[in-house]
């Protein structure tokens, strides 16, 4: 029996032998004293890559998002973000608990424009309204199927946010995918924002870690919040070495994951009962709906598991499939075949 093809997430990857070797060889020190040379090198490298003054390591993308909220807002504030953003749906209510903010979800398909932002910002001058103080964009947008937010839209809404006195935050956990898919450097994608978060543990294949980048003063504030949340680590160079290795070896190959997602998307789009707009398959994620009459998401997930293909139910009739470093073309083709057979049955 073949090993299962695990398409649940790009976070399921295991460090390669070469990555483990880089981790084992990492120079380390106490990062709470700023003495971990490998973490310092990663922070400098990412600040440069993202076109920002400074950067700070964080253990997870969730903590990066939570720290960003605590730096850029005050309790009771309101945040405007794309519908079904990670911060509102996948962080266990952390935005409310950790930052004390409420998130207004707008737009569709991971994207919203200036009109939607304007409509969502609460009027000022009446004390009953919460102050809307932050615009957040998720790029690529996970639950919308890994779509890349068009940069012209990003620039328009960020300009408008600034005019209206809002700060701006980019949840770029998969910014690397957005850069490869759009052909634009990460620094250009990050330029319109006050703070930018990126992850190393998704498509890049590192075992953990994220980072916030921005102006020195905001990164100093983020460091304090990170310490308060218990996210400051010690010999973190072991993780940072994996991230540096991934930046060198696993960034350009994301195009292969995107090609694999396309293969899966094209196979699925032709299946009875599947609702999938192939225009949403832009990177390494495929999110599709199951029409009435087709099996529901839990049933498809269970049947696929029996056939050695692991996928995720994102809703009663919504399924997500994600490609990554640990799945080869032959496995992708096998998974596509299994899903087609199950959906045709
Ligand atoms: C868009 C986005 N932001 C943030 C995160 C959180 O990252 P982590 O799982 O490292 O907490 C994820 C995780 O999948 C994500 O998809």
CA of 244 to the centre of ligand 1 (A): 19
Q: Which atom of ligand 1 approaches the CA of 202 most closely? A: 14
With 80 as the cut, is the pLDDT of residue 21 above it? yes
Cβ atoms of residues 82 and 144 within 8 Å: yes
Task: Say if ligand 1 is within 6 A of residue 199 CB.
Answer: yes
Q: Which atom of ligand 1 approaches the CA of 60 most closely? A: 10
Nearest CA to ligand 1 atom 7: 61
Please give the pLDDT value at position 345. 83
How do residues 130-164 score in pLDDT, each as one tens digit? Answer: 999 999 999 999 999 999 999 999 999 999 999 99
pTM tops 0.75, yes or no: yes
Question: Bridge-partner residues for 138, per DSSP?
Answer: 171
The whole-angstrom separation of Cα 129 and Cα 117 is 16
Nearest CA to ligand 1 atom 13: 61
Task: Say if ligand 1 is within 6 A of residue 173 CB.
Answer: yes
The whole-angstrom separation of Cα 6 and Cα 268 is 17
Burial class (CB in 10 A: 0-12, 13-18, 19+), 51: middle
With 80 as the cut, is the pLDDT of residue 1 above it? no
Nearest CA to ligand 1 atom 5: 61
CA of 32 to the centre of ligand 1 (A): 24
pLDDT band at residue 333, thresholds of 50, 70 and 90?
Answer: very high
Q: Maximum CA pair distance of the chain?
A: 66
With 90 as the cut, is the pLDDT of residue 75 above it? yes
Q: Greater confidence, 1 or 322?
A: 322
Q: What is the mean pLDDT of residues 1-22?
A: 95
Nearest CA to ligand 1 atom 4: 61
Q: What percent of the chain is modeled with pLDDT above 90?
A: 97
- Dihedral of CA 272/274/280/281: which sign? negative
**DSSP label at residue 98:** I
Mean pLDDT of the chain: 97
Question: Bridge-partner residues for 275, per DSSP?
Answer: 289
With 80 as the cut, is the pLDDT of residue 266 above it? yes
With 90 as the cut, is the pLDDT of residue 2 above it? no
Task: Say if ligand 1 is within 6 A of residue 201 CB.
Answer: yes
Q: Which domains does the chain have, with CATH numbers?
A: 17-249 (3.40.640.10), 253-344 (3.90.1150.10)
How do residues 93-109 score in pLDDT, each as one tens digit? Answer: 999 999 999 999 999 99
The whole-angstrom separation of Cα 211 and Cα 199 is 6
Q: What percent of the chain is modeled with pLDDT above 70?
A: 100
Q: Greater confidence, 302 or 1?
A: 302
Task: Say if ligand 1 is within 6 A of residue 182 CB.
Answer: no
Q: Residue 195 to residues 100, 151, 181, 201: CA-CA distances in angstroms?
A: 19, 16, 22, 19
CA of 63 to the centre of ligand 1 (A): 9
How do residues 194-239 score in pLDDT, each as one tens digit? Answer: 999 999 999 999 999 999 999 999 999 999 999 999 999 999 999 9
């Amino acid at each position: 029996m073949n090993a299962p093809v695990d398409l649940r997430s790009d976070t399921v990857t295991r460090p390669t032998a070469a990555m483990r070797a880089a981790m084992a060889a990492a120079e380390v020190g106490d990062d709470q004293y700023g003495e971990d040379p490998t973490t310092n090198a990663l922070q400098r490298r990412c600040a440069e890559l993202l076109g920002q003054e400074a950067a700070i390591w964080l253990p997870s993308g969730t903590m990066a998002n939570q720290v960003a909220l605590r730096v850029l807002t005050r309790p009771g504030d309101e945040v405007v973000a794309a519908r079904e953003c990670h911060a509102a749906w996948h962080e266990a209510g952390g935005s409310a608990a950790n930052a004390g903010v409420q998130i207004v979800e707008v737009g569709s398909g991971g994207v919203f424009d200036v009109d939607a932002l304007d409509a969502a910002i609460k009027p000022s001058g009446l004390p009953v309204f919460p102050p809307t103080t932050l615009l957040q964009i998720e790029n690529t947008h996970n639950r919308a199927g890994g779509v890349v937010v068009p940069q012209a839209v990003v620039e328009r809404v960020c300009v408008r946010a600034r005019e209206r006195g809002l700060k701006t935050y980019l949840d770029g956990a998969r910014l690397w995918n957005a850069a490869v898919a759009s052909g634009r450097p990460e620094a250009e994608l990050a330029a319109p924002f006050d703070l930018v978060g990126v992850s190393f543990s998704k498509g890049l294949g590192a075992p953990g870690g994220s980072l916030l980048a921005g102006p020195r003063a905001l990164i100093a504030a983020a460091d304090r919040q990170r310490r308060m949340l218990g996210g400051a680590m010690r010999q973190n160079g072991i993780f940072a070495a994996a991230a540096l290795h991934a930046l060198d070896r696993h960034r350009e190959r994301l195009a292969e994951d995107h090609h694999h997602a396309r293969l899966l998307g094209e196979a699925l789009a032709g299946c009875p009962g599947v609702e999938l707009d192939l225009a949403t398959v832009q990177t390494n994620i495929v999110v599709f709906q199951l029409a009435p009459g087709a099996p529901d998401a839990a049933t498809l997930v269970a049947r696929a598991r029996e056939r050695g293909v692991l996928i995720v139910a994102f809703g009663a009739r919504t399924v997500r499939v994600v490609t990554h470093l640990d799945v080869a073309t032959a496995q992708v083709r096998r998974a596509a075949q299994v899903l087609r057979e199950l959906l045709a049955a």
